[in-house]
Structure formats: C-alpha cells, structure tokens
Amino acid sequence: MDLGVLTVPLGERPRGDAFDYLADLDVNAVELGCGGFPGSDHLDPDALLDGPERREALRTALDERQLSVSALATHNNPLHPDDERADRADRELRRAIRLADELDVPAVTCFSGLPGGSPDDTTPNWITAPWPPEHADALEYQWQRATEYWHDVATLAADHGVDVAVEMHPNMLVHEPHGLAKLRDATNERIGANLDPSHLYWQGIDPVAAIRWLGARAAIHHVHAKDTELYESRQRTRGVLDTTRYDRPAERSWLFRTVGYGHGERHWKRIVTALRLVGYDGTLSIEHEDALTSPQEGLEKAVELLDRVLLASEPGEAFWA
C-alpha cells in the first residue's frame, strides 16, 4: 500500500513546494483537487486537458520526487436541484474523468450528490427516516434521479477506464455502505467507494466491517485516512446528527481528527489488515480536517503513525501451513 495526501491543506504553497514537502515526509502519492469543494490549487484542469506539454510537466514534477497521483478529487453535488449548480458539478466531474484518463490516474473521488425531495424543491433534502410517508416517497424520487444520472457517468468512466470513488458522506444520498452498493448495482463496476472512516464512525458503522463488506463486492476504489473523535457525554443528550458548526469544536458530539487522535494505532492496524484481506493495495490518502491542529502538524503526525502501520511488502508463502 502507498501512503498519500490530499493536497488541499497545502493549497497556498506552489505545487513544486508542496510536492517537495511531501516527498521529504516519504509520502508516495498525492490526491489532487480538480474542482468542486477541493478546488484546483495544484493543477489547472482545462489547461491540462488541452495541453499535452502541461501534462508532461506535471508528470516530470511527480517523477522527480517519486510521487504518483492516487486520484483526482472533485467533491460536489451534481444532483443539486439548482440546475446551474448541478450543471457545474457535472461538468467538473466529467472533466476530471477525462483528465484522469489522460494522466493515467486510476480514480476520481467525489460525492454521490443529493437531490431535492421532489421536482419542485429548491434545496437538497437529506432523508434520514422513512416516516412520515412523504419522506419515503421523497427518497424513492431521489434514487430515481440518482440512478439515471449515475448510469450515464458510469458509462463515461468505463469508456475512459477510470474508477469513480464515491465518498459516503452525510447530506449526500450515498452516506453508508448499503447505499454505495445500491448505486454500484444500478450502474457498473466503475462505481465504488472512496472509503473514508471518519464519516462512518459517528454513524455507528464499524469501518473494519464496512471494509470487509464492500471488499467482498470488490467495491473499494480508494481510501481516505481521516479520524473522528466521539464524545459520548455529548451524544447522550445531543445525539450524532449534530448541526453544531465545525468551528465550535468544544460543543460538538463528534469531531474530525488527525489519524490517531480519535482511534489509536492498534485500530488503524486493524483497518490496514482488513484492506489487505480484501485485496486492496492502493493508497491511503490522508485528508486533514482537524480543527485542533494546523495542517502541517496534523499531516506530519498522521504520516508518522501510518508509516508504522502500513504494509508495504507482498506476503510470502505460508510456509507454516
């Protein structure tokens, strides 16, 4: 497995400086923002698509530092009920798929998106319960929209030989493994998971069990390394559907943390072991979203821990069997 970093927290650094910094940390791979919420600080997607010399310059910059690109990230909402916002997200996603093909990048990471609850809605509607019955009707409508849209995107991804790694995320239609499998079954095998444990912990989902369940379906295309700390005393009165702002961390019932600060090294060894058991040998891409530490400190502490737990060599013959 490779150790990677989503470079968004380093967006203020020029690309070369960011790559130098990560190479000095012995990082093997980068996940580059390519539109949507991650932005595109370290590449210009349109210029790269139109300019083979620019693509070659990027390859050279990577090769000089012995880095690869694990994925292009374009997290947004292509199912948004506002047509203008949905169209922009759709263009960014399709552009990222075409660019990944040109750059020989194996995956594009993204969200499933979230429609409104009916054709008349103007804002997305995250359905978390099937009752009253109009919510079940809204969820059925949302899946009809999603299936139609993602069938087309999956066909494009298959044509370009690129995996689309959907991050299971709150306030998106696909936010847990069964929803991910439903979307994959409705499209093709190019649709899979960008498995980010941080969004599973607070929902009460065991990431190790999720890895085994999705891995049995060959449905893991990319993995994020991000942790979550759970504050049980607050959950007892607030629950886990916590709408407290992320910039008020002391008031939340759970909080995104640097790897190791929500769950310890032994837990992350279990995650790496589960990934190996299901045959995943790609990148663990560190995503820093910890309100309690700087990006540099958070990245460096995550690298330090994951460097100890990642399995780099191929397993040998079971001579003891």
What is the CATH number for 58?
A: 3.20.20.150
pLDDT higher than threshold 90 for residue 280: yes
Give residue 313's pLDDT: 87
Q: What's the start-to-end Cα distance of the chain, in Å?
A: 25
- Pairwise CA distance, residues 114 & 136, whole Å: 15
pLDDT higher than threshold 90 for residue 320: no
Half-sphere exposure of 68 (CA within 13 A, CB side): 14
What letter would DSSP give residue 9?
G
The pair of structure tokens assigned to 266 is: 């032994």
Angle of the 133-160 helix axis to the 177-185 helix axis, nearest 10: 60
- Pairwise CA distance, residues 283 & 183, whole Å: 23
Nearest to 154 by CA among 188, 110, 179, 113: 188
Give residue 41's pLDDT: 96
pLDDT category of residue 312 using cuts at 50, 70 and 90 = confident
Give residue 30's pLDDT: 98
pLDDT category of residue 319 using cuts at 50, 70 and 90 = confident
Burial of 101 (0-12, 13-18, 19+ CB in 10 A): middle
**Quick check: is 283 in a domain?**
yes
Given the DSSP bridges, would you call strands 68-73 and 227-230 parallel, antiparallel or unpaired? unpaired
The pair of structure tokens assigned to 309 is: 């737990």
Q: Which residues of 175-208 are buried (b: 16+ CB within 10 A; e: fewer)?
A: bbbebbbebbeebeebbbbbbbbbbbbbeebebb
**Quick check: is 271 in a domain?**
yes
**Quick check: is 314 in a domain?**
no
Burial of 283 (0-12, 13-18, 19+ CB in 10 A): buried
- Pairwise CA distance, residues 30 & 72, whole Å: 9
Strand partners, 254: 230
Cα torsion angle, 151, 155, 158, 162, sign: negative
pLDDT in tens, 49-60: 999 999 999 999
**Quick check: is 319 in a domain?**
no
What mean pLDDT is predicted for residues 63-88?
Answer: 98
**Quick check: is 241 in a domain?**
yes
pLDDT category of residue 318 using cuts at 50, 70 and 90 = confident
- Pairwise CA distance, residues 78 & 25, whole Å: 35
Give residue 40's pLDDT: 96
Give residue 200's pLDDT: 98
pLDDT higher than threshold 90 for residue 154: yes
**Quick check: is 317 in a domain?**
no
**Quick check: is 225 in a domain?**
yes
Q: What percent of the chain has pLDDT over 70?
A: 100
pLDDT higher than threshold 90 for residue 25: yes
pLDDT, the chain, mean: 97
pLDDT higher than threshold 90 for residue 211: yes
- Pairwise CA distance, residues 33 & 24, whole Å: 21
Helix (H, G, I), strand (E, B) or coil at 191: strand
pLDDT higher than threshold 90 for residue 138: yes
Give the residue carrying structure tokens 């009916």: 118
- Pairwise CA distance, residues 165 & 221, whole Å: 5
pLDDT category of residue 143 using cuts at 50, 70 and 90 = very high
pLDDT higher than threshold 90 for residue 182: yes
pLDDT category of residue 148 using cuts at 50, 70 and 90 = very high
Q: Are 77 and 124 in contact (CB under 8 A)?
A: yes
pLDDT higher than threshold 90 for residue 314: no
**Quick check: is 61 in a domain?**
yes
What mean pLDDT is predicted for residues 306-312?
Answer: 95
Q: How many domains does the chain have?
A: 1
Nearest to 154 by CA among 186, 106, 111, 113: 186
Nearest to 31 by CA among 268, 259, 287, 207: 287
pLDDT category of residue 9 using cuts at 50, 70 and 90 = very high
- What global pTM score does this model have? 0.97
Task: Residue 297: give the domain boundaries.
Answer: 2-309
pLDDT higher than threshold 90 for residue 103: yes
